A and B are shown apart, each in its own frame.
Chain A
């Protein structure tokens, strides 16, 4: 199965896209989506809808609060969308980190049922769960974030085995997690440094999708990267007036016009000097 974000980018591309999002075979497709909470949520939602409608996959979408509104219009993005295809997406509303861990830990019980287990597990806003945990806001223990990320990884690995053993042939379960790291100025002095949290998440979620807003006018740079072996792809994402999201790949010559070059430097450093575009 192609990487789901790659399918999303091609599905909502402006014009014909000749390049593809290709990750090394040894890289797992579990993805960390970094960026503003609203746009991250929109990308996760599009990924869920695309997986359910275009790929016919079962999706579990964990979030703290029901969707009230999104920057992205589903009808504008998918004009011919039939609502019954969304039945493949199951939303699970969990409030606390403890409830989330328990729900994730129970997913193996789905393997005993006749119906297929989910092929995509989405977790919206991991940072919100960590803020609300009993230990306070991201205090001096990395174990909660590592536990949830490792539990997601291990659950996806187990469900992949189950899917592969069944006859439907869709043999992979992927994980997609959104996380908004706090800025240096706004975070609590006792909170963990964002780079430390991200280094922990990188252990379990190998693909990183960084969404960086350009000029605050509804345009984003999207950095899709894996660390080993190093690979970065850039895409340009635009929110149209009607609420539709559009993507197009960014090629070499365009990569110098970033508003915040520091972000792309971070991505390049994360991947070493061998990034390919």
Chain B
């Protein structure tokens, strides 16, 4: 997946952040652009945002991560500085097939952050270590 498309996606998320902060709505042209750039997972990601499925967890060290509650009830931990999600769709369509920029969980995290709709949760540093290492996902 080319870096040009990634730049387009980043610009689109910036546009969304600006527009949503002013109007609290997503205009049709931005919805069409989201669907065009991110494909079918755009609608699924917006559904996750609507359900407030994205939580930004923070620890006293200052470290942050996103936890996204998937449709199956499983929690997926996504990082803030780079694109990674432990879900099978990310592994297959993003990493293996290179057909999408993101899975619905990652996109939901990006959209929630841009729209200021992340839930906030404080955890201890040790809990953050468990979350980042993937141990919480392995045990769910």
Would you give the 0/1 interface string for A174-210, flagging 1 where the beta carbon is closer than 8 Å to chain B? 0000000000000000000000100110011000000
CA distance A162 to B64 in the complex (A): 13
Query: A112 near B80 (CB under 8 angstroms)?
Result: no
Query: A150 near B82 (CB under 8 angstroms)?
Result: yes
Question: What are the residues of chain A within 8 A of B91 when measuring CB–CB?
Answer: 141-143, 146
- Is the C-beta of B39 less than 8 angstroms from some C-beta in chain A? no
- Is the C-beta of A111 less than 8 angstroms from some C-beta in chain B? yes
- Is the C-beta of B132 less than 8 angstroms from some C-beta in chain A? yes
- Is the C-beta of A158 less than 8 angstroms from some C-beta in chain B? yes
Question: What are the residues of chain B within 8 A of A200 when measuring CB–CB?
Answer: 95
Q: Which one, B82, B96, B125, contacts A108 given CB within 8 A?
A: B125
Query: A112 near B84 (CB under 8 angstroms)?
Result: no
Q: Which one, B61, B80, B81, B83, contacts A109 given CB within 8 A?
A: B61
Q: How many interface contacts (CB-CB < 8 Å) are there between A and B? A: 86
Q: Which one, B79, B82, B96, B129, contacts A102 given CB within 8 A?
A: B129
Taking CB atoms and an 8 Å cut-off, the chain B residues in 117-140 that contact chain A are 125-126, 128-135
Query: B59 near A153 (CB under 8 angstroms)?
Result: no
Taking CB atoms and an 8 Å cut-off, the chain A residues in 136-177 that contact chain B are 141-143, 146-147, 150-151, 153-154, 157-158, 161-162
Query: B79 near A154 (CB under 8 angstroms)?
Result: yes
Q: Across the two chains, which residue of chain B brings its CB closest to A112?
A: B61
Question: What are the residues of chain B within 8 A of A141 when measuring CB–CB?
Answer: 91
- Is the C-beta of B70 less than 8 angstroms from some C-beta in chain A? no
With A143-B86, A153-B81, A158-B62 in contact, do A105 and B132 touch (Cβ < 8 Å)?
yes
Q: Which one, A147, A161, A228, contacts B84 given CB within 8 A?
A: A147
Question: What are the residues of chain A within 8 A of B86 when measuring CB–CB?
Answer: 143, 147
With A142-B95, A228-B3 in contact, do A150 and B61 touch (Cβ < 8 Å)?
no
Q: Beyond the given A104-B133, A108-B125, A161-B62, please list 10 additional residue pairs across the A-B interface where CB-CB is below 8 A.
A: A106-B133, A111-B61, A111-B62, A151-B133, A153-B79, A154-B65, A158-B63, A199-B95, A204-B82, A228-B3
Chain A contacts to B: CB under 8 angstroms: 98, 101-102, 104-106, 108-109, 111-112, 141-143, 146-147, 150-151, 153-154, 157-158, 161-162, 196, 199-200, 203-204, 227-228
10 smallest A-B Cβ distances: which pairs?
A150-B84, A105-B133, A105-B132, A157-B81, A108-B63, A154-B79, A142-B95, A106-B129, A111-B61, A102-B133
